[in-house]
Amino acid sequence: MSTVPRKKIHPQMFALYVAMASIAMMFAGLTSAYIVRKAQPNWRVFELPNIFWISTIVIICSSISVALALRAHKAKKISQARWLMVVTLALGSTFALLQYNGFYELYHLPQPVRVEGNPSESFLFIIWGLHLLHIAGGIFALLFVWLRSYRKNVKEYSSNGLAIVANYWHFVDVLWIYLFLFFMFG
């Protein structure tokens, strides 16, 4: 019998992994349905605005900043971690704003992309809308962890909350890259 202690996963991290698996399956199902429907007639092909490339760079930078925030927090550099969380919040908000501007451009094309239009347009709005909902959830979770980092009656700051949010943030980052490449080249 081994006396080596087993490293246990935090219950909230485990719940996050289950949630991320569910979210991944949902997006896999939606993109699979997109592929199946794309093979049928009356499918509209449209080009995505270049602003989506910029938003991709922004979300990658936000993933880097949240990783640096977690590293700083684990090194007990709480003020640096707080500053990097604010940077991540700003980048996440910028990403959402750039997404809005990208859809504004699509909506104002000579032949506009509309949610009630062609099925290809409906898929685009549903998939991207769901992703932005997940980004908003990540922004609120990060804001919550940032605000909690200012508690005065804490003897030692745990990095569990930030680690959970950082993992989720990396997940929505990778999910965005998948969706972006899917719509650009799919």
Does 33 fall in a domain?
no
The predicted pLDDT at position 115 comes to 65
Does 24 fall in a domain?
no
Does 30 fall in a domain?
no
Does 104 fall in a domain?
yes
| CATH number of domain containing 76 | 1.20.120.80
* pLDDT tens profile 67-112: 999 999 999 999 999 999 999 999 999 999 999 999 888 888 777 7
The predicted pLDDT at position 146 comes to 94
Tokens 């349905």, residue? 33
16 Cβ neighbours under 8 A, 6+ residues apart: 164, 167, 168
Does 20 fall in a domain?
no
**Number of domains the chain contains:** 1
Does 26 fall in a domain?
no
| Torsion over CA: 124, 129, 132, 137 (sign) | negative
Does 3 fall in a domain?
no
Does 177 fall in a domain?
yes
42: left (phi over 0), alpha (psi -120 to 50) or beta: left
Give the residue numbers spanning the domain of 150: 49-185
C-alpha to C-alpha distance for 33 and 163, rounded to whole angstroms? 33
Which whole-number Å values give the CA distances from 34 to 91, 100, 119, 182, in the listed order? 29, 22, 9, 10
